């Protein structure tokens, strides 16, 4: 008893994809072949759609992983900016005194 399965494409006018299955069997001592042609377009489209959704989800995750450290550093710098401003003022006050003693 032989079995085979193939995926075949439609024509340009009908771009569907079909699943062709063939099976051999014997009944009453005589050999027979059963051929089934089924439209697989919808199942393949849904599978492709799910694959794209998974890809987008993975890419989003990877992009967010890359942006998290940048966002963290930016937040830290934002908190440090007022301190840097005060340090700059202190340096302006202290620097002339250093030059005077040098």
Compute CA distances 86 → 58, 82, 92, 98, 99, whole Å: 44, 6, 10, 18, 20
22-25 LR contacts (CB < 8 Å, sep 24+): 25/1
Higher pLDDT, 57 or 11: 57
> How confident is the model over 37-83, as pLDDT tens digits?
888 888 888 999 999 999 999 999 999 898 888 888 888 877 777 77
Q: Report the predicted TM-score, pTM, of the whole model to 2 decimal places.
A: 0.48
In terms of Cα–Cα distance, which of 33, 35, 1 is closest to 20?
Answer: 35
């Amino acid at each position: 008893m032989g079995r085979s399965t193939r995926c075949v494409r439609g024509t340009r006018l009908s771009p569907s994809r079909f699943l062709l299955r063939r099976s051999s069997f014997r009944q009453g001592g005589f050999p027979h072949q059963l051929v089934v042609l089924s439209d697989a377009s919808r199942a393949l489209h849904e599978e492709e759609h799910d694959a794209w959704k998974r890809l987008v989800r993975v890419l989003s995750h990877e992009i967010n992983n890359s942006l998290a450290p940048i966002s963290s550093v930016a937040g830290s710098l934002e908190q440090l900016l007022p301190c840097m401003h005060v340090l700059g003022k202190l340096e302006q006050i202290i620097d002339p005194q250093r030059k005077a003693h040098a």
